[in-house]
């Protein structure tokens, strides 16, 4: 699977975890050159607090385009620090 924005591969892995229709990429498969900190957080009743990343590609920023669970609740520990994408990021094979 690949996560692509602005013709740039942000993450690529053969070992994503599919959960609720989202592919979660292993943390080491995400190219850290294109992600930056975000203050945004959200709460999932069963997974816990999601932290977000924004993306920067070719001088453009896509805010809060990726999320991960640094400390997931019990039952979601298998996705700890795995990264999922949304907004304009295309996730394809």
What domains does the chain contain, in order, with CATH numbers?
2-92 (2.170.150.40)
Please tell me the predicted confidence (pLDDT) of residue 75: 94
Please tell me the predicted confidence (pLDDT) of residue 34: 98
Please tell me the predicted confidence (pLDDT) of residue 53: 98
Q: Phi/psi at 28 (nearest 5 deg)?
A: -75, -10
What average pLDDT score do residues 7-31 get? Answer: 97
Q: Please spell the DSSP secondary structure of 51-70, one letter per residue.
A: EEEEEEETTEEEEEEEEEBS
Please tell me the predicted confidence (pLDDT) of residue 74: 96
pTM value? 0.96
> Over the Cα atoms of the chain, what is R_g?
12
Q: Phi/psi at 33 (nearest 5 deg)?
A: -70, -15
Percent of the chain clearing pLDDT 90 (strictly above): 100
Sheet strands (E) in the chain: 2-5, 8-12, 17-19, 22-24, 35-44, 48-57, 60-68, 83-85, 90-92
Which conformational region is residue 75 in: left (phi greater than 0), alpha (psi within -120 to 50 degrees), or beta?
left
Determine contact, residues 69/80, Cβ cutoff 8 Å: yes
- Mean pLDDT (the chain, rounded): 97
Tens digits of per-residue pLDDT, 29-65?
999 999 999 999 999 999 999 999 999 999 999 999 9
């Amino acid at each position: 699977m690949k996560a692509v924005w602005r013709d740039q591969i942000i993450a690529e892995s053969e070992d994503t975890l599919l959960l609720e229709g989202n592919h979660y990429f292993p943390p080491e498969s995400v190219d850290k050159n294109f992600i930056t900190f975000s203050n945004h957080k959200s709460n999932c009743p069963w997974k816990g607090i999601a932290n977000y990343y924004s993306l920067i590609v070719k001088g453009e920023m896509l805010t809060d385009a990726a999320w991960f669970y640094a400390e997931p609740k019990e039952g979601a520990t298998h996705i700890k620090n795995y990264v999922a994408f949304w907004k304009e990021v295309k996730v394809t094979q």
